[in-house]
Amino acid sequence: MRTTHYRIRIIPKVLHFKQPAGTSRGTYTIRKSWYLVLTADEMPGRFGIGECAPLPKLSCDDLPDYEKKLATICHQTEQNGMPDTEALRSYPSILFGLETAFRHFQTGNFALWDTDFSRGKAGIPINGLIWMGDYKKMLEQIEVKMQSGFRCIKLKIGAINFEEELALLKHIRAHFSAKEIELRVDANGAFSPDDALNKLQRLAELDLHSIEQPIRAGQWEEMARLTSETPLPIALDEELIGINTIERKKELLSVIRPQYIILKPSLHGGISGGQEWIDEAEQQKIGWWITSALESNIGLNAIAQWCATFNNPLPQGLGTGALFTDNVEMPLSIRQDCLWYDPKSNSFPSGAGGVLMPVPERNDNTPLIPSQEGKQLLTDCNKQQLQLEDGTVCTAENIQQLITNLPADAPEIRRDLYKFLADWFNESPYITVHTSGSTGTPKEFSVRKEQMMQSAILTCSFLHLQKGDNALLCMPLQYIAGKMVVVRALVAELTLILRTPSSHPLADVEIPLRFAAMIPLQVYNTLQVPEEKERLCRTEILIIGGGAINKELEAEVRTLPNIVYSTYGMTETLTHIALRRLNGPEASSAYTPFPSVQLSLSSEDTLIINAPLVCDETLVTNDIAQLHPDGTFSILGRKDNIINTGGIKVQIESVEETLRSIISATFAITAIPHPGLGEAIVLLMEKTADIEGLSDRIASLLPKYQQPKYIRQVDAIPLTGSGKTDRTACRLLAAKLI
């Protein structure tokens, strides 16, 4: 019986080559890749990362619907609890990504196998790679590699005139003997079967180590003839692509009998498929070495860690980590002609989120503040920019122009957003905020922008939000909750989806959301409409705040397939300082504070919050709380929501929670002054409810001292702008009615 419930998140990534990479099949300027981030409900904080990177027009699983197929396979893997190696033989890049993600998850370390390499005690000898180009450019590359200390150089040939390539090789040999420099060439199938042997003979005169794939793959007879007659050892590369079963692997090696094979896990069957190739090659006394297939450092590290488990003295093809301008940070380095891994380095991906969006190099002095996981986030207001769903980019330089050009019929939410951004981008270090006024007159005060960004960092780090994710803004911007959605988008470089605040925020949101923040009323109404509920289910992470979540709503949320949290916080703490998981195995009745937050209780059992990153002073709340030994806490109610009736204290929230089981309409418990009791409990209900027999049903649920003395029907229960029950207005309304 499976006890671990895995979740796999797929994140696409586009890497950019520092310079065009020429091959016989064309020139690469970008490299598409998909990262698989593996987590488990039972082991929060643990993750594994793998990379799927099929090569265009080469990989056997380079499919038009690759992303769709990848999503299907990942879903099946979640259900099965492990990759189905046999079923994935035809999808080597996906198999490689899954195998290495699971390996990383199991080891808990990027050192995927315990070797001298992973311990930083030995390097892996590698070849220096020379890309195709004109004679001059290739010669310049070779000289740089030689000066760096490489003793084995691999040249891509077949793109320029063969005589020029031959002259280049002769130039190298004139200065360096075979003992000083080992030369390999890779034709990528550029030769024709008719003239291949002649070219091999001329190349052999230059004391080359080997040639990779001299003729196009799939010509077994012609290739077998070449391997039997060649004076220059032949290494098969593309020939292995699509040969996925062990029987076919044996057949290919038996028929062609190459001198070497070259293994690329992303192309040749993943780790398990690569091992099959090695076992069969050694059985037939065929040499081999391992190379990467232009993966990012995630895939390169996995290949290198696997490669280090073998005692293969040949230089391997693992020197591709420096090819990209925006590679993922990893403690891999090239020293002379060896690849090294430094387990003591701080250059590790920062977690399930940070690894996926490495911070690009900047040519300015933009300050970057590390998050809780080490991921760097942009915190200079003047350097920030906000990307909107429609492609609009808002910056300090253009915000006033955007305001000027705003159409007269522009949605109010966009007007409010631009106004907030104008305040955010100005020179003042402060932003004015207002409390919701749920327990009294709304208060206005100023907070430092730096504190708002620290609050955003806490949330983005905890939820693994990262550059390129989208976030829904569906709450009013006059309140802190709406403002903080924008600040998170600025700091983490999220794409903001704007919707006018309403009780049905997903009514016209067609695209899947990575992150959304809603109040309970919005979530409740969304769940009542099947189409909107489906959209909510496709929202990867949902946080619910701004009001109490009743038992019925929590029960329905518990069935959702995504990640849902209840938040605890207030305007003074710049929204939440703690989260409570509402669904999945991690569901809890208690809140977990962020690591930088310290909690205690007052003499009245109200919660005291010390959150130095977001609040200058220790905050004594009106929330009656219970602290638990594991550091979590529960909220029992509010001190100012206590009714003292006949000398007995009654918590409003407790009474309301009980009554929700028998009252379907919107209602509120409040109180009015009473000469004998001090305060008398009042039940206010909207007129849509049937009150016949209600008093008897209430009496069956509540003790006498908690039962309302008065029941009054009203047109609407007073709410604040943020959707909370307006307790002060309810008291005034009750006093007016009775």
Residues 6+ apart with CB under 8 A from 191: 158, 199, 214, 215
> Whose CA is closest to 710, among 692, 729, 684?
684
Active site residue 13: no
Angle between helices 135-148 and 162-175 (to 10 degrees): 30
Q: Count of CB atoms within 10 A of residue 85's CB?
A: 15
The pair phi, psi for residue 636, each rounded to 5°, is -95, -20
Q: How far is CA 634 from the centre of its chain?
A: 30
Nearest CA to 317 out of 331, 329, 303 is that of: 303
Q: Where are the extended beta strands (E) located within 495-647?
A: 495-498, 515-518, 541-544, 563-570, 575-581, 592-593, 598-601, 606-610, 619-627, 633-638, 642-645
CB 377 within 8 A of CB 353: no
Q: Which of 548, 571, 569, 577 shows the shortest CA–CA distance to 479?
A: 571
156 included as an active-site residue: yes
Q: How far apart are CA 294 and CA 303, in angstroms?
A: 11
Burial class (CB within 10 angstroms; exposed 0-12, middle 13-18, buried 19+) of 657: middle
User: For residue 429, what are its two tokens?
Assistant: 């270090």
Active-site hit among 13, 145, 154, 264? 264
CA–CA distance from 634 to each of 145, 591, 624, 653, 729 (Å)? 62, 6, 9, 13, 27
Q: Which residues pair with 567 in a beta bridge?
A: 579
User: Residue 357 to residues 35, 193, 353, 421: CA-CA distances in angstroms?
Assistant: 10, 45, 7, 25
Q: What is the 3-state secondary structure (H, E, C) of 426-478?
A: CCCCEEEEECCCCCCCCCEEEEEHHHHHHHHHHHHHHHCCCCCCEEEECCCCC
Radius of gyration of the chain (CA): 32
Closest CA relative to residue 726, chosen from 734, 433, 524:
734
Question: In whole angstroms, what is the distance from residue 529 CA to residue 701 CA?
Answer: 31
Alpha carbons 86 and 81: distance in angstroms, whole number? 15
Q: What are phi and psi of 254, to 5 degrees?
A: -70, -35
Q: Torsion-angle region of residue 515: left (phi > 0), alpha (psi -120 to 50) or beta?
A: beta
Tell how far CA 643 is from the center of its chain: 46
Nearest to 421 by CA among 444, 388, 389, 443: 388
What b-and-e string marks burial along 544-577, b requiring 16 or more CB atoms within 10 Å of the CB? Answer: bbbbebeeebbebbeebebbbbbbbbbbbbbbbb
Token pair in block for residue 551: 């038992």
Say which of 13, 145, 156, 449 is annotated catalytic: 156
On whether the CB atoms of residues 654 and 648 are closer than 8 A, the answer is no
- Is residue 125 within 8 A of residue 340, CB to CB? The reply is no
CA distance 636 to 514: 31
Kindly list the catalytic residues.
156, 264
